[in-house]
Amino acid sequence: MKHTKTLFAGLSILALGATLTACSPGSGDGAGGDSYEIVVLASSSQNGYNQAVYEGVETKAKELSESLGVTIKTKIQDGQFDANTQLSQLQNAGTSGSVDGIIVVPHDGPALAAAFPLANPKPVAAVLNPIGPEISVMEPQVEGVVSTVASPPANGAKLQAESVVEYCKDIDPCKVGYLAGLLNSPLDVERVAAWDSVIEKHKNITVVGTLEGAYDRDKSLTAVSNLLQAHPDLNGILSNADQQTMGAQIALENAGIDPASVFLTGGGGTIEAVQAVLDGKWTNDFLNFPVSMGESALEQIMNSILGKDVAPVVDADSLVDVGPIADRSVLEAAAFTGQWNG
């Protein structure tokens, strides 16, 4: 047998033959040597976060292949941080007879809703942010998406902003710069709105610039360097990505400013970011667990293919028992070192 359709037919025969218990959830051997192909549609295959998600998918594929006695093959496609490219890839995967399941790290979740229902239905799992019109709703919003492994983007952003408020409580004015990923991305639009919803209630905090870091250290280094020329007395940088915060740190150092003397936060929980917090250079970090998220997404896809129970929502913040906002004391207590390199 090759894939889903054949498997479902096999399950029906087994049910009639009263041997269904051999394929019941948890039996681990119900697929009997089948082969499955899972495609991962990365928002960008060059991005470290997406690569970490794929690492988790590969790890879980190897584990399940051994425990189930099947072959799970995986491949990754590059969405190039382009909504139209990723939509086309999703539509093509939906028509491919060789693809049994799809994992997507959406660049633009609302735009990807146009691909559904897929021409050749097969299970889809979204990682990091949902597919559908509501970026803050984790429950599957379109027919065909079986699971979302994520947490609402506003949750982490508000936690970051609240930590800025605490830092700035005795500073007036407290000058803060926003360093967002992509200002046209629904995910980052939601995060910036969440920052604003907290910051605007505190009159002592002034947002002196909203920058685009594009999840890239060098672009962020340039953007923050320019901001520092206009505001050398900057009190902090609120960033949603560790790669960007690393660029901000270098910009501060180049300007002769000790990073430890200002507020710095990032998002992602990279190994480098965790070390920067432990070293006292960053105030804190919003931790992500992309390897664990990839593992969970592959598990839900295989559950769907094999007719097992599927969790429609997996809270990404709960996959590892630490954080999600972590300062030095939290990291030291948990002995957490990060899951990926930015």
Mean pLDDT of 275-299: 97
Judged against a pLDDT cut of 90, whether residue 232 lies above it is answered with yes
- Cβ pair 199, 207 in contact under 8 A: yes
Q: How many CB atoms lie within 10 A of CB 77?
A: 18
Q: CA dihedral defined by 140, 126, 129, 45, rounded to 10 degrees?
A: -160
Fold agreement between 35-150+290-318 and 154-287+324-334: yes
**Percentage of the residues of the chain whose pLDDT score is greater than 70:** 91
pLDDT in tens, 130-147: 999 999 999 999 999 999
Three-class SS of residue 255? coil
pLDDT of residue 325: 95
Q: Where does the pLDDT of residue 342 fall: very low under 50, low under 70, confident under 90, or very high at 90 and above?
A: confident
Domain ranges for the chain, please list them.
35-150+290-318, 154-287+324-334
Q: 1-34, pLDDT tens digit by residue?
A: 344 333 333 333 333 333 333 333 333 444 557 9
* pLDDT tens column, 85-110: 999 999 999 999 899 999 999 999 99
Number of Cβ within 10 Å of residue 113's Cβ equals 18
Distance between CA atoms of residues 273 and 49, nearest Å: 13
Please name the amino acid found at residue 33: G
For residue 259, give the DSSP letter: G
SS3 call for 42: strand
What ranges in the chain are assigned the alpha helix state H?
Answer: 4-16, 48-68, 83-95, 109-112, 153-167, 186-199, 217-230, 242-254, 271-278, 290-305, 328-334
Each residue of 185-205: pLDDT tens digit?
Answer: 888 999 999 999 999 999 999
Q: And the tokens for 311?
A: 């969790």
Q: What is the fold, at CATH topology level, of the domain defined by 154-287+324-334?
A: Rossmann fold (3.40.50)
Q: Please give the structure tokens belonging to residue 130.
A: 């949902």
| Third-level CATH fold of 35-150+290-318 | Rossmann fold (3.40.50)
Query: Which residue is associated with the tokens 């429950």?
Result: 139
Measure CA of the first residue to CA of the last residue in the chain; give whole Å: 40
> What are the two backbone dihedrals, phi and then psi, of residue 229, each rounded to the nearest 5 degrees?
-65, -35
The tokens 């691909």 sit on which residue?
115
Residues 313 and 285: beta-carbon distance below 8 Å? no
pLDDT mean over 67-95: 96
